[in-house]
Structure formats: C-alpha cells, structure tokens
Amino acid sequence: MNTQNNSPDLSCLPERQANAEGNFYKDYTDSDRIGPGMNERIQRLRKLSFESRPSISIERALHQTAFYKENNGKYSIPVMRALQFLDHCQKKTLYIGEDELIVGERGPKPKAVPTFPELTCHSVEDFQVLNTRDQQQYLVDQGDMDTYEKEVIPYWKGRTMRERIFNHVPQAWKQAYEAGVFTEFMEQRAPGHTTLDGKLYRKGMLDFKADIKTHSDSLDFINDPEATDKAEQLKAMEIACDGAIVFAERHADLAEKMAASEPNEKRQKELLKIAEVCRWVPANAPRNFWEAIQMYWFVHLGTITELNGWDAMNPGHFDQHLTPFYEREITDGSLSRDEAMELVSCFWIKVNNHPAPPKVGITAKESGTYNDFTNINLGGVKPDGSDGVSEVSYLMLEVIEELHILQPGNSVHISSRTPDRFLHAAAKVIRQGHGYPSVFNPDQYVMEMVNMGKSLQDAREGGCSGCIEVGAFGKEAFLLTGYLNVPKVLEITLNRGMDPVGGKMAGIDCGDPREWDNFEQLYEAFLKQLNFIVETKVKVSNYIDRMFAKNAPAPFLSVVIDDCIAKGRDYYNGGPRYNTNYIQCTGLGTVTDSLMALRKHVLEGNKYSWTEMLDALAYNFQGDEKMRQFILNRTPFFGNDDEEADVLAVRVYDDLFKAIDGRPNTKGESFHLNMLSTTCHIYFGLVLGASANGRQAQKSISDGTSPSHGADTNGPTAVIRSLGKLDQSKSGGTLLNLRFLPSLLKRDEDIKKLGQLIRSYFSIGGHHVQFNVVDTATLYAAQKHPEEYKDLLVRMAGYSDYFNDMNIDLQQEIIDRTENESL
C-alpha cells in the first residue's frame, strides 16, 4: 500500500492519520487503569507496544549479507534464498516478553524493524534521517550504522533490485515517473498484499512438506522442460518449511528455559504452555484456539522476514478461521470467552508491534508511515455463500473498540445475508471516530472477482487485503503495481506532453488545445495520452515482475499459497492459482470535474477562451479568484447525482478500464483496473498544478472514487447514487470516503440509519465505504480551507446549514459541540 518514496504515505484513512495511534476520547488519568485493554496484562502489553519507539535492527541484513558472501553461486537462487531464510531462523535473536501469550517478533524486540538490502540498501545518510526526523522516526544505533557501512553497504552496492530496476527503465518512464504521473510499488518493496485462507488451520508445515514431496517425486524430467526449475523451487519450499519449524522450536526452548527460572507460578505455567504450543505449531495443524492464533502468527512472521512485501501479510477471514476452534472449546469448557478475547488482544498487539520497514531516499518531509496495512476481514460470507458472522466476529469488534491501536487495520463485510445486529455493532465502533472499521460489500466484490475469472467459491473465500483491493485469499498474487495520477494525465495533455510543474516532457504531444473547438477533440487527446502513459508503465511493471521472479523468489510464501506447490512455481513466478496486476487510478473526481469545467465554460459556454483558461491554470488562478469561484460554484460536479457530471465520470471510468484491463502480464494473465488511492492523492496533488475544476496547485486530488473534496453538496444519498452509476464490478476495488459530523450518529436510531445508508449503497453496487466522523481538527481545517469542505453540513433538529456559511463565532460553537459530542 505504498505511494512512492517521496509521497506522504500515511494510511488508508484520511483526516485521522497514521500517527493517530492511541486513545482519543477516554481519559484514564483518574482511574487505576494504565490504559485501554480488557485486563492488566493487555493494558501492559498495549502500553509497551504503544510506547515502544520504532527502531532499525540490522541483524537480518548482517545474516543475509554474510550468507550471500559465503554462498552466492553455490545453489540455485530459490534454494539459496530458502537456505538463507533457514539460516536466519536458526540464528535470529528471539524475544518472549513479559505477559506475552502469543510470541514471536520479526526483530529482536517490539517495533524493531529489519532491513532488506537485497531489494533496497539504506545508506548511512538514510539512517541518519530516519534516526532524527520528527515524524515516523526510526531509531538507529550509531554502532549499527558503522557496522552497516562496513559490512552491508559495500556488498550490495550495484546489486540491489532497486538499482538494477532504475538502471533499466527507459527515458519515457523516468520522465513520467519523475513528474508524478505514476508511482511504482516494487522499486522499494517486494510485491505483497498477500492474504491467507483457511488451509493453515488444517495443515501444518509437515503436511506441506509431504505435499511438496509428492509433487517432487512426480516430476517428469524427460518430458517436462521446466522439471529442473520446479525441482529447485520445491526443494526451496521444503527448506523454508524447516525454517519456520526451527524458529518455533527455538521459541519453545526459550520458553522452557525462562519457565525454569520463573518465580511466579502462574507465569511459569504460561511459559510452559507457550512452549507446548510452539512445539506443535507450525509443524502441525493447530488443535485449539491458542495454537490457531500462534500458527497464523508464525506464518505471518515468516513471510515478513523472508521479504518485505507490501501490505505485510493478512490473515483474511480471521474470525471465520477461528470460529470452529472457539465453538468447540466454548462447548467443552476448555476456553472461556474472556480467555479467547485475551488471546485475540495479544495477537492484535503483536501486529501493532510491527511497523512498516522504512524506505530509502527519505527526507524529513517524505515521512512514510508506520502502518504496514494488515487488514482483518470480519463477517462476510463463507465459501458456500452463507453468512460468515460468528461470536468471534463480535469479540473482535470489541477488541478493536477497546484497544484502538494503529494496527492491524480492520474491515467489516456486509453482505445481504449479514445480520443487522453485526452491522450495528460495527457502526457503533465507526461512531467512535477512529475511521474504522471500513465497510465492504461481499456481494459486489465476489462479482468483481468472478468477472476477473475466479471460481465462485474462491471468490467467496476472498475479500480485501490492506486497503480496498480484493483478491482470492490464499490463492492469488494480486500485485498493486502503482498509482496513476489521472488528473496529471489531463494536465500534460493540455500542455502538449509537457509537465508544467517540472518544466520537462512527461508524455506525448497530442495537439494544441487552442485548436480544439469541441469536447470530443479534447477527450480524444486525453485518451491518447492515457494509453501512452499506461503502456509506458506496463512495460516497466513487466520487467520488474520478471526481476522478482528470477532474483527474489519467496519460497516460504509459496508454501502457503495455492497452487505454488502443485505447479512447482514460485509465488512471484505464476505459482498462485490467480495472478493479477493492478494499476490504481487516482483522481476520478478531479479529472471528471476538470473535464466538465472545460466543456461547460470553454468549449460549450464560451465563458472563457482556451487562452484565458490555460493562463489561469499556469498562474494558479492568481489574480482571478472570481473566475475560480465561478468554476467552483457553477459547474456540475461528480457526486451530486447530477446526470451530466455522472455520465462523464462513468465515461472516464470505463475508458480507464479499457486502457488497462486485459493487458497481458508476465504470468499468462492480465492487468486490471483498481480505484484505490490510499493517501497517494495527497502526493499526486502536490505535483499537480492548478486544475480546471478550480482546484489550486498542490492541493490534494480526489481520493479513490470519492467526489472531489467539497464538490458534493447534496448529501450522502446523492454521493452514493453517483458512485452507484459506475459499474464497480469492472474494477478490483473502489473507495468512498464519507464525512459525518458526530451529531448525525448520536442516537442508536442514527446508527440504524447509518446501517440503512450502507445497505442502500451496497444494493446499487457499492464496493466499499468508510466514514470519517468529523472531529474538531477537521472543523478547524474546514475553517482554513472552506472550499474543500463545502459538503460539511451541520444538522441539528429543526436546523441545518453549511459549516462554511456560518460566521466564526458560530463555527466555534459547532467546534465546541463536536468536541463534547465525540463521546
């Protein structure tokens, strides 16, 4: 879920940003509690997680560099990478913290993050920036920096994936990339967004090894030209399984050792239980609730240690996976609801202990995020299509509400079969104002996946990974290849291929706008540019795909994704059952509104000439606020259920689909459209001059498929109807942010109505919606930038008015009220 390294990549959730970890509304100063958490253990663990400062651990890099120095060239690449994984699992510093029940850290302690120099090697300067910047700081020990400079950097210089990619890319790609026309995900991190299905709870590593052996034994070295490659790949997977088992066994040894000297009898028992769990999983399939969570956690750690894939790793339908264990143990009395909740809380905190690996080339401004975008799917449908909500779903919602930590992200999946009770329980968490859970529509995304060629059952077992992108869990590599700045495509079109911000060519010359006298000429030029840009991007994406397939295979990840074992191919090399590449188009609202303004005021209304318009854009409307205001207030914009604007939005959306969908990728499958933006709309806005919809230079473009900021002035029902006109099943995800004042969510009755609003959006084909319950910070922002918050409607019984229209005293009053109403 990245943007590129020079973007302020904060989180999926606008307004409430990545640093918004912590406790917003509850004040614990007067209570005995040290913070949120169901009991003292959880409170202490959460506090430690919350207060631990992210740091860099160079241990993985040292092990890896030494291993490469010693072994590079001795083995096939998959086998060497697997052996290196095993080597690290054998040597890595372990951590079992006080109070912990679920164990294992990627680094030597909570929030210690390894580096991945084979992909991208941090320089000493990078470390210094990380160590000192104000936002999203990562502590780096001075001694470690010296060691890194001596041991790690010299070996990797010129060998990293990133350097090799940048040495390769053609000029046209570089120009467009530098202008901010698109980003590239895989230049810093491995392809990720991987989400697991239920097989981990039925099979242990020993079972996977048996499967591997079966497939190895049946290789046909006479007739299958790939048999040797497959044999190497399978061998690598087998070694990787051993890595995970060794890692767990070492935890068992450590727990036993700690138990031997533990004075507290209760803790001693817990440590022995931890040892027992780690002796059993991941080697074998879990036997109970505790083991099931620990099983997933070991696999999670394995995959994020092997490589630094985007969106870390996701358990998928975690509630559904744990439900059979929960129900069995609750029935036989071996587990209480509180014990289950405690284990789930421990798991949640474990995920929070794992900030995203920081990128290179960072500056203080380009801060990145701690969020590694693990997303837990709650509710939804089961593979047979029935309702997936269980008591565990409710229990997890309670954990989310109680802990409110940054990670893991969470989402609720509301199909037509989901009971209202679950929807309302989720809406109550939404009301808290943390921006989550986000809400998804399985009925819609199952259709999207089937549309892209998945079987119905695999689609139902799917859901969303990090943000809003969907995939078939446990069976698909769905690669987000980067964001496309669609308004920027229009901007360079209007400037004959030139990027007016950077002053360099960024695309191709599609003609002089001054010669266009009807909208179709403009639109045709825009499409020509769009296709050129998409082709430029795809060429490099395909190159990067092959680079990962050949040089950075992921044997451990391949073990847990169908059908890598059966095919004898790596996760990055077409091993999964489904292999999708997405391009995420950002700024549908901004580009639609800009095209609309050009059509209305230049090409049809003749209110402004091309020269007047192009000059106004070049000078950021300076000196012509009247023109800008006229455009802002007198143009039909997307998001108001305005037929003219919406028809144009649908046309743009359909053409994005045509430009991307079906282009072949390197794994015999194809590229698809996605409408995800994460926070890339902020970066894309920064590199964009003024746009014809009245948006000033550097301001954000619209996010996902949401209307432009403030463009929707007809309320939420009009917004959902506009979005409902897009055939959302054509993309692998759309995104809608809706802003709500807390006063709209005060009573339980209001919660019900929010649920009905969600259901009515989903009934017309909505994929996703999330709610920003506006806090006072947002209202202050609205005072400063009124035009971006034109949609902010203050409603109280018998009264409603736009926030912007109120004078400053009254605005202050609303701000005070909001503060009080935020629970």
Partner 1 sequence: MPGLIFDVKPYSINDGPGIRITLFLKGCPLNCAWCHNPESISPQVQKMYTKKKCIGCGSCVEECPENALTLTGDGIVTDPDLCKLCGKCAEVCPTLAIEMSGYQATVDDMMKLIRKETRTLDESNGGVTISGGEPMMQSDFLIELLDALGEEGVHRVVDTTGMTSSEKLLEVAERTDLFLYDLKAMDSDIHKKYTGVGNEKILENLKLLAKSGAEIIVRIPLIKGVNIDRKNIKASAEYIADLPGNIAVNLLPYHDIARAKHEKLEQEYESDEFEEPKLEEINRVIGQFAEYGIVANIGG
Q: Is 764 in the site for partner 1 (CB under 8 A)?
A: yes
Q: How far is the CB of 522 from partner 1 (least distance, A)?
A: 24
Q: Is 810 in the site for partner 1 (CB under 8 A)?
A: yes
Q: Is 31 in the site for partner 1 (CB under 8 A)?
A: no
The active-site residue out of 12, 467, 585, 680 is 467
Closer of 9 and 712 to partner 1 (Cβ) = 712
Q: Is 269 in the site for partner 1 (CB under 8 A)?
A: no
Q: How far is the CB of 416 from partner 1 (least distance, A)?
A: 11
Residue among 115, 22, 101 nearest 62 (CA) = 115
Closer of 373 and 761 to partner 1 (Cβ) = 761
Q: Is 721 in the site for partner 1 (CB under 8 A)?
A: yes
| Backbone angles phi and psi of 802, in degrees to 5 | -80, 135
The active-site residue out of 238, 306, 461, 469 is 469
Distance of CA 416 to the CA centre of its chain: 26
Instruction: Name the segment binding partner 1 (CB under 8 A); options: 174-182, 592-600, 698-706, 745-753.
Output: 745-753
Q: How far is the CB of 817 from partner 1 (least distance, A)?
A: 8
Half-sphere exposure of 131 (CA within 13 A, CB side): 15
- Of residues 635 through 654, those in contact with partner 1 by CB under 8 A are 641
Contact 323, 365 (CB under 8 A): no
Q: Is 630 in the site for partner 1 (CB under 8 A)?
A: yes
How far is 581 from 130, CA to CA, in rounded Å? 31
What is the side-by-side order of every strand in the sheet holding 409-413? Answer: 375-379, 409-413, 438-440, 768-773, 737-740
User: Which position among 363, 717, 785, 820 is part of the footprint of partner 1 (CB under 8 A)?
Assistant: 717
User: Which position among 627, 650, 777, 781 is part of the footprint of partner 1 (CB under 8 A)?
Assistant: 627
The vertex-441 CA angle with 9 and 586, nearest 5°, equals: 35
Instruction: Name the segment binding partner 1 (CB under 8 A); options: 130-138, 312-320, 451-459, 804-812.
Output: 804-812
Instruction: Name the segment binding partner 1 (CB under 8 A); options: 21-29, 461-469, 535-543, 807-815.
Output: 807-815
Q: Is 459 in the site for partner 1 (CB under 8 A)?
A: no
User: Which position among 551, 714, 776, 822 is part of the footprint of partner 1 (CB under 8 A)?
Assistant: 714
The vertex-379 CA angle with 376 and 382, nearest 5°, equals: 105
Helix (H) or strand (E) holding 629: helix 625-633
Size of residue set near partner 1 by CB under 8 A? 43
Binding mask 770-799 for partner 1 (x = CB under 8 A): ------------------------xxxxxx
Q: How far is the CB of 630 from partner 1 (least distance, A)?
A: 4
Q: Tokens for 521?
A: 């000429």
How far is 697 from 617, CA to CA, in rounded Å? 8
Q: Is 514 in the site for partner 1 (CB under 8 A)?
A: no
Q: Is 27 in the site for partner 1 (CB under 8 A)?
A: no
How far is 541 from 481, CA to CA, in rounded Å? 7
The DSSP-derived string for 245-261 is HHHHHHHHHHHHHHHHT
Binding mask 725-744 for partner 1 (x = CB under 8 A): -------------------x
Which amino acid does the sequence have at 684? Answer: F
Instruction: Name the segment binding partner 1 (CB under 8 A); options: 2-10, 235-243, 317-325, 630-638.
Output: 630-638
Contact 527, 659 (CB under 8 A): yes
Instruction: Name the segment binding partner 1 (CB under 8 A); options: 217-225, 331-339, 662-670, 708-716.
Output: 708-716
Beta bridge partner(s), residue 581? 479, 671
Give how far Cα 64 sits from Cα of 14, 117, 172, 294, 438, Å.
Answer: 37, 9, 35, 26, 38
Q: Is 223 in the site for partner 1 (CB under 8 A)?
A: no
Q: Is 321 in the site for partner 1 (CB under 8 A)?
A: no
Q: How far is the CB of 816 from partner 1 (least distance, A)?
A: 11
Q: Is 266 in the site for partner 1 (CB under 8 A)?
A: no
The β-bridge relationship of strands 799-802 and 793-796 is antiparallel
User: Which position among 119, 549, 757, 774 is part of the footprint of partner 1 (CB under 8 A)?
Assistant: 757
Q: Is 801 in the site for partner 1 (CB under 8 A)?
A: yes
Beta bridge partner(s), residue 298? none
User: Which position among 259, 750, 776, 821 is part of the footprint of partner 1 (CB under 8 A)?
Assistant: 750
Task: Give catalytic status of residue 51 as yes or no.
Answer: no
For 414-565, list the strands marked E by DSSP: 438-440, 463-464, 470-471, 476-485, 498-499, 504-505
Closer of 644 and 813 to partner 1 (Cβ) = 813
Q: Tokens for 726?
A: 């897009």
Q: Is 813 in the site for partner 1 (CB under 8 A)?
A: yes
Q: Is 749 in the site for partner 1 (CB under 8 A)?
A: yes
Task: Give catalytic status of residue 644 as yes or no.
Answer: no
| Residue with tokens 């509710």, as numbered in its chain | 379
Half-sphere exposure of 514 (CA within 13 A, CB side): 5
Alpha helices (H) along 406-507: 420-431, 442-451, 456-460, 486-494
Give how far Cα 573 sits from Cα of 88, 212, 233, 578, 579, Å.
Answer: 24, 17, 10, 11, 9
Instruction: Name the segment binding partner 1 (CB under 8 A); options: 142-150, 540-548, 621-629, 654-662.
Output: 621-629
Closer of 490 and 726 to partner 1 (Cβ) = 726
Q: Is 633 in the site for partner 1 (CB under 8 A)?
A: yes
Q: Is 620 in the site for partner 1 (CB under 8 A)?
A: no
Q: Is 763 in the site for partner 1 (CB under 8 A)?
A: yes
Q: How far is the CB of 641 from partner 1 (least distance, A)?
A: 6
Q: How far is the CB of 25 from partner 1 (least distance, A)?
A: 19
Contact 591, 652 (CB under 8 A): yes
Closer of 93 and 622 to partner 1 (Cβ) = 622
The β-bridge relationship of strands 498-499 and 504-505 is antiparallel
Binding mask 424-443 for partner 1 (x = CB under 8 A): --------------------
Beta bridge partner(s), residue 768? 440
Q: Is 222 in the site for partner 1 (CB under 8 A)?
A: no
Closer of 336 and 717 to partner 1 (Cβ) = 717
Instruction: Name the segment binding partner 1 (CB under 8 A); options: 254-262, 284-292, 557-565, 805-813.
Output: 805-813
Q: How far is the CB of 643 from partner 1 (least distance, A)?
A: 10
Q: Is the dihedral of CA 13, 17, 19, 22 positive or negative?
A: negative
In the chain, the largest separation of any two C-alpha atoms, in whole Å, equals: 85
Show Cβ contacts of residue 173 under 8 Å, excluding neighbours closer than 6 positions.
Answer: 536, 537, 539, 540
Which amino acid does the sequence have at 341? Answer: M
Binding site for partner 1 (CB under 8 A): 625-627, 629-630, 633-634, 641, 714-718, 720-721, 744, 746-747, 749-750, 752-753, 756-757, 759-760, 763-764, 794-801, 804-807, 810, 813-814
Q: Active-site positions?
A: 467, 469
